[in-house]
Amino acid sequence: MPDWLVPWIIVAVVIWPLVKVEEWVHLRIQGLGLLITDNPQAATLIYYIVLLPGVVLHELSQWVLAQLLRVKVERFQLWPDKQGKRIRLGLVEIDKKTDDLRATLVGMVPLVSGVTALVLIGRARFDVHTLFAGLGTGDLPTAMAAIRTFTSAPDFWIWVYLAFTIANAMLPEEHDRVNWWLFIVPMAGIAAALLLLDLGILLEAWLDGPLTAIGEWLSFGLALALGIDLFVMALLAITEEIVGRIKDRITEY
């Protein structure tokens, strides 16, 4: 298997479970808030406060890029409101007449900024390689030592929280206009042209250079997001079970 293909396979494998886990996490945060407070408005406020850093990064990155691209912003908000059965935590609504390219760039920039932030946090604050190496040995004492090393990073839980909020607010939303074909088709066309012109060496340089770097950056960020979400998913499930038993109630979803 070509080296450049490996990170993109990881991206393809990780993205679907990440979307599903994120949906579960969002619902459980709202449900747990309602279970604790017995007040829908208070539950919404808890949901908003928990994810606030990620919401701010998502909406501000869209607003800033819209300004740079001279895209008219019809509506901008950093507070929650209810849209039918869904709670929208923030919004950047651009002019519907905006061309597809600029609309796509504005729609996808939260993913770019979010993954970039996760990569920076992961590489600067988390010793992920030591953790994976320890877990990969299959030896329990070695694995536990790797986990202790991993969690002993300075301000570990603060960075976990920030990474969690970013991971759960970076994916495109329903109102975002994102046309991925605007990037896939030109890239495929360039690759085909290089092959037809017998310039395979340039294609190989592109695959082993920029494309591999982008794939490694994206796969690391998405894998870290999924790992943190699975960890928080377990914490939310345990907390919901404990609170439900204390209050003798269950939350229906």
- pLDDT score recorded for residue 169: 93
Tell me what pLDDT residue 1 has.
64
> Tens of pLDDT along 64-109?
999 999 999 999 999 888 876 788 899 999 999 999 999 999 999 9
State yes or no: pLDDT of 200 exceeds 70: no
| Listed range (8-12, 159-163, 171-175) with the worst mean pLDDT | 171-175
Per-residue pLDDT at 135 = 67
Q: Which of 45-54, 182-191, 196-205 has the lowest mean pLDDT?
A: 196-205
Read off the pLDDT of each residue in 222-228 and give the average, rounded to a whole number.
Answer: 92
Name 46's Cβ contacts closer than 8 Å, sequence gap at least 6.
Answer: 29, 32, 33, 36, 37
Indicate whether 4 pLDDT > 80.
Answer: no
The type of residue at 43 is A
Please name the amino acid found at residue 54.
G
Please name which of 59, 91, 60 lies closest in space to residue 75, comparing C-alpha atoms.
91
Residue 31: closest CA among 22, 19, 40? 40
Q: Lowest mean pLDDT: which of 41-45, 163-167, 215-219, 248-252? A: 248-252
Angle in degrees, CA 70, 165, 132, rounded to 5 = 115
121: which residues sit within 8 A by CB, 6+ positions away?
A: 159, 162, 163, 166, 224
How far, in whole angstroms, is CA 41 from its chain's centroid?
26
Question: What 3-state DSSP class applies to 54?
Answer: helix
Residue 181 pLDDT grade (very low, low, confident, very high; cuts 50, 70, 90): confident
pLDDT of residue 17: 94
Q: Which residue has the higher pLDDT, 26 or 143?
A: 26
pLDDT value for 198? 67
170-180 average pLDDT score: 86
Kindly give, in sequence order, each residue whose CB lies less than 8 Å from that of residue 222, ignoring residues fewer than 6 positions away. 10, 11, 14, 15, 18, 115
Which residues face 83 on adjacent strands? 86
Amino acid 199: pLDDT: 67
Which residues have C-beta within 8 Å of that of residue 69, sequence separation ≥ 6? Answer: 102, 105, 106
- Average pLDDT of the segment spanning 11-16: 92
pLDDT at 5: 82
Which residues have a Cβ under 8 Å from the Cβ of 52 and sit 6 or more positions away? 165
Q: What are phi and psi of 176, to 5 degrees?
A: -75, 135
Decide if pLDDT at 176 tops 90.
Answer: no
Q: What does the pLDDT look like over 115-141, one tens digit per residue?
A: 999 999 988 888 777 777 776 777 777
Rounded Cα–Cα distance for residues 240 and 34 (Å): 11
Long-range contacts of 207-215 (CB under 8 A, 24+ apart): 207/2, 207/4, 208/3, 208/4, 211/4, 212/3, 212/4, 212/7, 215/4, 215/6, 215/7, 215/8, 215/10, 215/11
pLDDT for res 186: 78
Residues in Cβ contact with 150 at an 8 Å cutoff, skipping those fewer than 6 apart? 126, 127, 128, 130, 131
Structure tokens at 108: 């996808």
Q: Which of 228, 229, 26, 217 is nearest to 111 (CA)?
A: 217
Q: Are strands 81-83 and 73-77 parallel, antiparallel or unpaired?
A: unpaired
Instruction: Find out whether 43 and 250 touch, Cβ atoms under 8 Å.
Output: no
